[in-house]
Structure 1
Amino acid sequence: MALNKLRQLDQDSAGITLPKDDLRIEGLLDENGFVDGEHHVHIRHVGEGEWQLELVDTIGT
């Protein structure tokens, strides 16, 4: 199991890096390994110490 460090991003948020290999499998990186385009992820807290991430196609208004 790979472990990723929780990091303070700013006053109001924290972040976790996602492995580029996983992003590449999803087709989210360009040929140079950079994020290709603009993508949004829905993050849902599902239980104690557990979250679910879901890539979304469109953002509802």
Structure 2
Amino acid sequence: MDLRLIQFLSECRDEEHEAIDRWFHAFQPISMTMAGAISFARDTTRLAELLGTTESAAHNA
């Protein structure tokens, strides 16, 4: 591949990762506690943390 194309694609990938990180940072605090007490943070369901169960304490230990 042409070096310029490789560099351009690399820059696009970096910008995409930055945009995804900004999106997660902006929406991570939003939780759906009224709809099943589920909080989404980077594809992880954190029900135990919201409920304060022992699974959460064991996970964080």
TM-score of the aligned structures, taking structure 1 as reference length? 0.20
**Structure number with higher relative contact order (C-alpha < 8 Å, ≥ 6 residues apart):** 1
More strand by share: 1
Q: Which has the larger radius of gyration?
A: 2
Higher helix share: 2
